[in-house]
A and B are shown apart, each in its own frame.
Chain A
Amino acid sequence: MGLEEELRAKIERIKQGGPQRYRERAKAEGRLLVRERLERLLDPGFGIEDGLFADDTDEGNPADAVVTGLGKIHGRKVCYMANDPTVKAGSWGPKTVEKILRIQETAANLRLPLIYLVDSAGARITHQVDMFPGRRHAGRIFYNEVMLSGLVPQLCLLFGPSAAGGAYIPAFCDTVVMVEGRASMYLGSPRMAEMVIGEKTTLEEMGGARMHCEVSGCGDVLVYSDVEAIDFARRYLQYFPTHCEDFPPTFAAADPSKDPSELEHLIPTNQNAPFDMFELIERLVDADSFLEIKGLFAKELITGLARLGGRVIGIVASQPKVKGGVLFVDSADKGTRFIALCDAFNIPLLFLADVPGFMIGSKVERQGIIRHGAKMIYAVSEATVPKISVIVRKVYGAGLYAMCGPAYGTDATLALPTAYIAVMGPEAAVNAVYYKKIMELQGEERERFIQERREEYRQDIDLYKLASRLIVDAIVPSARLREELISRFEAYASKRAINPRKRHGVMPV
């Protein structure tokens, strides 16, 4: 066989991946093979692959179970790393690690997004001396992710396991997409849990995709197939610039899918009744542009990307239908992370606030709600992208701060006619200020006193009084909110705010 022929044969063999039976099983289970995933992810035509011949020995593993290279998505270059689960269950050998390090270094040098298509049983323990502890070993992968974090978008698509150390690959990505029933992440396997701590549990219970997307918050988006994960990735990247010094791509504007003038009747004037914030969002953003992040986690706060008049924005919105829209530890975490993501990539922020405040009570105090809430306020303060806060209905106490109230470098605080801003609601306020007096009165007299004080309080915080003190920058008729926001985000596009120079803050965590 000539040299050229020999090369072509080797290339073909390596690209097949692992043994036939594993490829067949994958197909039978509706899973795509690694190169099929890449074919669907990347635009046809342009493609570069490095390290195809890694571990190409007699007992070697094709490409050392990982494919790394460059491609394009909607015409823009990206880097990728994709485990091949048909080769030793996608486990990592020393060359696997080196290939990953190199594609990360490439992404940093070229300032390109990095997509991690993860499907791996973890490190090959037999090789651990050559891949765990050293300078250019597995730990360096996570160090590199941290260096890349906020420099370029890093997206993880989890198609199968990401075990033990491998679980840190998703952990350092901006956003993690998990395939239900297949994706899993855990530091110790159920087998290890039984052996080392005595716990009996299942993979799905302890580290399954749904658990991570609903309970732990380690997963951001739950999908139901390989195809859906890949299609999400292609869509997601269109909301991001290629790197942090660039701006997200703009699209043609599209009208919302529902009529914005319906907002006038949507928001209940009764401050204590629930309503569905998604109904408002649907009447505000360009049709089909809302891309929710962490939709199954801490549902009392909504976070997602969208377009307004073709311009990408990040939305942080109270959801009064869930737990009254009150902020808890998990919602504060969810908000913090999303605000940081948008600020990292020049995505302007829109806050839609209808929040009775942070939760109170001994349960949440013991969970540290003060420091978790402070964390969200920290993220809001640090963000230098254009920020608009819309007071939709009531906004009390530190809820005003967490939802980017006037003191937070906000470019505009807008109120709808239903807006209500106060340190706390009338009932709690009157109870606090007049407690002794109330206790001295009885029956009807007490009732009347309480009602009169509450009415006084309401008048004190009348929206027009606040506006006349310049607490809010404008009061906007609900039907005009969309137009107002489009104009303002256009105006604020040239914003350049700079925080004081320092090594970095000491963030409440």
Chain B
Amino acid sequence: MPTVTSPMAGTVAHVLVQRGDTVQVGQDVVILESMKMEIAVQADIGGRVRAVKVNTGEFVDEGSDLLELE
């Protein structure tokens, strides 16, 4: 299953998409907070969001799943 993963460890500040949305490559999909910086995570693959794997405030490590696409 294609997934969008976190580029670095941090906390989920905002999830910008929801189940059913179509995302394009390069589109901002999640905002993380890490090292006190606002980190926009872009989708590196396109598709429809099948599942959002994280909640606001949750810790994610580098490589953790953020979105599942189909």
Quick one: CB contact mask for A347-375 with B, threshold 8 Å, 1 for yes?
Answer: 00000000011011101100000000000
Interface hit among B14-22, B34-42, B49-57:
B34-42
Please tell me if the beta carbons of B34 and A324 are within 8 angstroms of each other in the complex: yes
Q: How far is the CB of A376 from chain B (nearest CB, A)?
A: 17
Interface string of A310-345 (1 = CB under 8 A from B): 000000000011011110100000000000000000
Report whether B9 and A326 are in contact in the complex, using a CB–CB cutoff of 8 Å: no
A129 to chain B: closest CB distance in Å?
46
Which of A272, A323, A363 has the most chain B CB atoms inside 10 A of its CB? A323
- Do residues B38 and A328 form an inter-chain contact, with CB atoms below 8 A? no
Could you write out 12 A-B pairs with CB less than 8 Å apart?
A: A272-B37, A272-B38, A274-B38, A324-B39, A326-B35, A326-B37, A359-B9, A361-B61, A361-B62, A363-B9, A427-B36, A428-B36
Within 8 A of A (CB), among B1-51: 7-9, 34-40
Q: Give complex CA distance A274, B37 in Å.
A: 8
Residues of A that sit less than 8 Å from B by CB: 271-274, 320-321, 323-326, 328, 356-357, 359-361, 363-364, 425, 427-428
> Which residues of chain B have C-beta atoms less than 8 A from A360's C-beta?
35
- Number of residues on chain B facing chain A (CB within 8 A): 12
Q: How far is the CB of B66 from chain A (nearest CB, A)?
A: 14
Nearest-Cβ distance from residue A424 to partner chain B, whole angstroms: 9
Further 10 A-B residue pairs, CB within 8 A, beyond A321-B40, A324-B34, A361-B9: A274-B40, A320-B37, A324-B38, A324-B39, A325-B37, A326-B34, A328-B8, A359-B8, A363-B9, A364-B9
> Which of B8, B35, B40, B61 is A357 in contact with, Cβ under 8 Å?
B35
Shortest CB distance B52–A (Å): 21
Which residues from chain A contact B38 at a C-beta distance below 8 Å? 272-274, 324
| 10 smallest beta-carbon distances between A and B, as pairs | A324-B37, A356-B35, A361-B9, A425-B36, A326-B35, A363-B62, A324-B39, A323-B8, A272-B37, A324-B35
DSSP majority for the B interface?
Answer: loop
CA distance A357 to B39 in the complex (A): 15
Write out the residue numbers on chain A whose beta carbons fall within 8 Å of the beta carbon of B36.
271-272, 356, 425, 427-428
B9 A323 Cβ-Cβ under 8 A: no
Q: Tell me the smallest distance from the CB of A114 to a CB of chain B, in Å.
A: 37
A326 vs B39: C-alpha distance in the bound complex, in angstroms?
Answer: 10
Chain B residues, Cβ within 8 Å of A326: 8, 34-35, 37
Shortest C-beta distance, B34 to chain A (Å), equals 6
B-side contacts of A364, CB under 8 Å: 9, 62
Write the nearest CB–CB distance from A366 to chain B, whole angstroms.
Answer: 11
B20 to chain A, nearest CB (A): 28
| Shortest Cβ gap from B44 to chain A (Å) | 10
A325 to B36, CA, bound (A): 11
B9 neighbours in A (Cβ, 8 Å): 359, 361, 363-364
Residues of chain A lying within 8 A (CB to CB) of residue B7: 323
Query: Which residue of the partner chain A has the closest CB to B9?
Result: A361
CA distance A271 to B38 in the complex (A): 10
B39 touches A323 (CB 8 A): yes
Please give me the residue from chain B that is nearest to A321 by CB atom: B40
B8 pairs with A356, CB closer than 8 A: no
Instruction: Identify the closest chain A residue to B61 (Cβ).
Output: A363
Nearest chain A CB to B62 CB, angstrom units: 5
Compute how far the CA of A404 lies from the CA of B62 in the bound complex, rounded to whole angstroms: 28
CA A359 to CA B7, docked complex, whole Å: 12
Q: When chains A and B are docked, how far (Å) is the Cα of A320 from the Cα of B38? A: 9
B62 closest partner in A (C-beta): A363
A357: chain B residues at CB < 8 Å are: 35
Task: Please indicate the chain B residues that have their CB under 8 angstroms from the CB of A361 in the complex.
Answer: 9, 61-62
Q: How far is the CA of A321 from the CA of B40 in the complex (A)?
A: 8
A428–B34 alpha-carbon span in the complex (Å):
12
Residue of A whose beta carbon sits closest to that of B39:
A324
> CA A272 – CA B9 in complex, angstroms?
16
A431 CB, min distance to chain B CBs, angstroms = 11
Write the nearest CB–CB distance from A373 to chain B, whole angstroms. 14
